[in-house]
Structure 1
């Protein structure tokens, strides 16, 4: 049975294809449209899913979309009657729902068929899709499942107990109360106005102190059994003229907070203006309170389920700093976070919800790697390079038929301080570049961060770079957390841990979804991937999951003694590159020293490195 899953009309639109319960392809539309977090309909992602699967529209048996406008209708009516939101807000929500009713027309256009030729369409509510995306592809037969985000289908937080091919819903938190919208509001307040900018505040937080935690706590009183409510006087998303644009292009949110927030925290920061210590302190305080709130929910989830294992999803589950502390602050022993935990992952969840919950199919698939996207050969790479002006004097390129030699050559470039683009195999699923669409450097060179920021990425200096580490070396370089962010920052000693937790060790996360402390004795060895607070968002690279990337890091370890490389996404203020042409274009217009595209290595002239001494047969 072929099932197409789609996330449409939200940000991060995407598509996946299942064949008898096995994942065939998973793609995000932004990689093809070249617009970050693109909204609208995932036409190109759908078409490429079918291409990868080798099927036509006529071969599809079912289509699942991760949105159901009819969900929680009673709650919506109650909200309107109780809160009397503006007519503009009601109209915008109605128009948003109307888009979903037009999904058949959009889908027919994407597939090149008439509406009568479409397979059955299933509307899967947003949060059940999130939950399904986490549990049904996890390695766990039984687990607690929790989704936390801004909101979708009138819900912002939900949890369930997953067993086999079924999840039993337990509780939820309804709009307008939301952990995600609180984080977004303060992100905007701090002068980061764009959809998806929350990760910047997470990166800024370690530079501050928890001096505003009491003020942030005032914004979100906690209740019993994992519940919480926003202090709505500080927010305007629920009542006033609040603009939200999900049209074709990057999603655009209006200002979520009211002037009352400035009375509490002081003047808002204008975008691009100086970041002061006050701004850094607010960021730190937000992260600290966010962790308190998240663990408040998760401890309630554990109390209601008694499970040892937890699956997390939703945009809030992209907060890798909080994720790394879950086992230190709850009784959960294991945590699984699917690589596309945000709204992109609801396409996956919608498809698996139909497969398991509606058709009752047994589980047979586990997502243990992210390589579900497009792939290319490198036949055209020499031609593309040769077509560049003055190519012969600017570049040298070699195609290898031996992976070992290619890895050794690239490892030597990295050891010599070069910044290298690495484009090989199938594209990653999710927001992280995990070794197939990556820019790499030597983590032992402290100046590597500045070189990449100033010559390649052109991004904020406070944002950290991540380490990719051989899976077998994780425990040697990383350790677990002892408490919450505020407690760690205040050096007040380990937080009392609920009985049964396992936060004393770093988890070998293959998806770069959890931040852990770098062991003190190793921080000097890998300064370029050690953040100001001594942590790193690690990716554990297993030989079975990505043999080529594992071979490259192993070759680097042989030359340097360090089984770690600096890994950042292969892009320059754009979505991660999808094709060889995009990879080479990024290389040509930035100051990267070299790029590997499949089996072809392209270097700038002159390349003064020990790697250039290798002139033997390739």
Structure 2
């Protein structure tokens, strides 16, 4: 049975294909269109998924869309009615779009499928599982567990903003739901907005900023108390009630009532690109602490309701790696599995899996070790010919290798000399993290690497941390964690033996002083609070990346390298060799490796479009 899953029309559109329950392919539309968080119908992603499987649309048994648009429309109408006459401007803006497009989504999807070759000779079922069921399915069905609690937390689906489910065998039962307008995801996004970052793309910046807050400052406790007294009524089961007097997202065009927030916290709303000050960092730490408190309470309630030993996580809030690490350390569950494409993109996969197991009633047989996502390498790949044609197009110079061990050894030496390397191998990752298939790499021992990567390669805020990729077998030697983290979704401390002491006044230093104080023997991957967002690299799922890190260890004694996504700020992660070469030439990257080909920046022809990306991509 062949089922195509689709998510679209809000943000992070994607497509995924399963065949008799096996995940064949999945990709986000942004990687093809080069528009970050592209919400449009994922025509390119659908084409790829079908081509990779060697199928036409007419051979599909079903197409599953990741939510129920009519329920979402119902929520919209009821919300405007409940808040009337407030929100008239927003209502007049939203209604034409809904009436023209989203009310008739079934027809629109059919029209898009016809454009892609659907002849209607065979009637394909078009299914609409609920948004949070799609999230739950995306986390539970690929997990290694036969029975698990499932926690999904995001901004909002149709009505639900969080859910607790039970997964057992092929079945998922929804046990609890939290409903709009009360939402942990929207609460976190409101602080993202107030602190000057873009909603739906800047939440991870807020997470990265939070550790720069001074945990000993009385402001932290004051902010947390204010949040819990004025903005959020937190119940013991983790459910929240948000005071809508302070928020504008339900009926307005902004996230918050800015004047009320400024009066509440005594801070002016930060505008994008404004300097980051101690008060911003402290407020960021306060909301991160509150978020972790809420997630832990939700998880405890999931444990109470299900009695399960294991937990599966999905929804945008499941991308909060710091919260995930605290949850794992809490011991509420024996272990947790987090869907790597936890946001709306992953809903495409979950919709297909929900259709297969729930609608069609097909059994679930866990035959895999680890999980069924195969490292999340589910996207497009390329051939040597593709690389050669790209090189010809740009008159590029390269060195080709017949032996991958020789290439790995040479690149390991290049990294050890302090160079930055773009690394493109095999199938592209599904989800927001680069996992060694579309990555930019560096030496974690190099104290200048974080600064160089942020300011000269990624062109982004200097406070942003970088993740370590570590050989899975050696994780416990370098981090306070002895499990696996293949999807870079867990934050744990750097091992004590690697840490360097900080001065007594460290907490009161400003952001810039903290940023460039060397905190460990691996300074470029050690965040301000001695933490790291770990990726464990496994030979079974990414042998080439594993081989490179092994070669780096042989030369340096260090089985860890810096890994960040292959893109500049505001650009989607690269997909093709052409994308990679263009990004390589637009930045101050030193080397590029695509498949078996090594490009040295010093040997490339002059690039005439060096700064064009700043106009091409909207800064996130």
TM-score by length of 2: 0.87
Residue of structure 1 in register with 2:418 after alignment: 417
* Counterpart in the other structure of 1:44: 44
CA 1:462–1:318: 2 relative to 1, 3 Å: same
Aligned position for 1:86: 87
d(CA) in 2 for partners of 1:329 and 1:214? 23
The match for 1:215 among 207, 226, 248 is 226
| Cα distance, 1:592–1:203 mapped onto 2, change above 3 Å | same
**How far did 1:379 drift?**
2.0
Verify: 1:533 aligned to 2:533, yes or no.
Answer: no
Q: What is the distance in 2 between the residues matched to 1:580 and 1:99?
A: 38
Equivalent runs, 1:5-24 vs 2, <5 Å: 5-24=5-24
Asked whether 1:467 is paired with 2:472, we answer no
Are residues 73 and 8 of structure 1, via their aligned partners in 2, closer, same or farther at CA, if it must alter by over 3 Å?
closer
Give the CA deviation at 1:61: 1.1
Does residue 230 (structure 1) correspond to residue 230 (structure 2)? The answer is no
Once residues 12 and 520 of structure 1 are traced to their aligned partners in structure 2, the CA distance between those partners, rounded to angstroms, is: 39
The SS at the match of 1:275 is coil
1:246-288 residue CA offsets vs partner (Å, 9 max, x unmatched): xxxxxxxx34444211111121112111111111111111111
Q: Is the 8 A contact 2:25 2:52 kept in 1?
A: yes
Asked if residue 509 in structure 1 is aligned to residue 485 in structure 2, the reply is yes
**Post-superposition offset of 1:181:** 0.6
- The aligned residue for residue 609 of structure 2 is none
Work out the CA distance in 1 between the residues paired with 2:56 and 2:73.
36
Conservation of the 8 A alpha-carbon contact between 2:224 and 2:286: yes
The equivalent of 2:549 in structure 1 is: 553
* Residue equivalent to 2:140: 135
Supply the distance in 2 between the matched residues of 1:382 and 1:43 (Cα, whole angstroms). Answer: 27
Shift of 1:545: 1.2
Distance of aligned partners of 1:13 and 1:75 in 2 relative to their CA distance in 1, 3 Å threshold: closer
Q: For 1:273-329, what per-residue CA distance to the aligned partner results, in whole angstroms no more than 9, with x for missing partners?
A: 111111111111111111111112111111111111000000000000100110233
| 1:202 matched residue in structure 2 | 207
Q: Which residue of 2 aligns with 1:57?
A: 57
Write the distance in 2 (CA, Å) between the matches of 1:181 and 1:195. 10
How much does 1:214 deviate? 1.2
Number of residue equivalences = 565
Give the conservation status (yes or no) of the 8 Å contact 2:50–2:57: yes
Which residue number in structure 1 is paired with residue 613 of structure 2?
none
Q: 1:587 to 1:81 in 2, by over 3 A?
A: closer
Farther off after superposition, 558-567 or 115-124: 115-124
Contact 2:236–2:297, Cα closer than 8 Å, also in 1? no
The aligned residue for residue 376 of structure 1 is: 382
* Structure 1 residues not aligned, in runs of 5+: 244-253, 480-504, 608-618
- Relative to structure 1, the CA distance from residue 340 to residue 99 in structure 2 (aligned partners, 3 Å threshold; closer, same or farther) is farther
Q: Report the more deviating stretch, 329-338 or 457-466.
A: 329-338
Q: 1:325 to 1:179 in 2, by over 3 A?
A: same
Aligned-residue offset at 1:86: 3.1
Shift of 1:606: 6.9
Distance 2:379 2:327 in 1: 30
| 1:161, distance to aligned residue in structure 2 (A) | 0.7
Match for residue 401 of structure 2?
400
1 CA distance for matches of 2:350 and 2:239? 24
Cα pair 1:47 1:110 within 8 Å, conserved: no
Q: CA deviation at 1:381?
A: 3.0
By how many angstroms is 1:102 displaced? Answer: 3.4
- Corresponding residue for 2:289? 288
Aligned Cα root-mean-square deviation (Å): 2.0
Q: In structure 2, the residue corresponding to 1:324 is in which secondary structure?
A: helix
Report what 1:490 is aligned to: none
- Distance apart, 1:386 and its partner CA: 5.1
- Secondary structure of 2:154 counterpart: strand
Q: Which residue of 2 aligns with 1:175?
A: 180
- SS of structure 1 residue aligned to 2:245: helix
How far is 1:359 from its partner? 1.3
Q: Alignment partner of 2:234: what SS?
A: coil
Q: Distance in 2 between matches of 1:78 and 1:388?
A: 55
Counterpart for residue 339 of structure 2 = 338
Distance 2:593 2:182 in 1: 47
> For residue 154 of structure 2, what is the aligned residue in structure 1?
149
Q: Establish whether residue 603 from structure 1 lines up as the match of residue 600 from structure 2.
A: yes
In structure 2, the residue matched to 1:489 is none
Residue-by-residue CA offset, 1:530-568 (whole Å, 9 max, x unaligned): 111101000000111111111110000010111000000
Paired position in structure 2 for 1:486? none
Deviations 1:170-202 (A, max 9, x none): 000000010011111111111113531111111
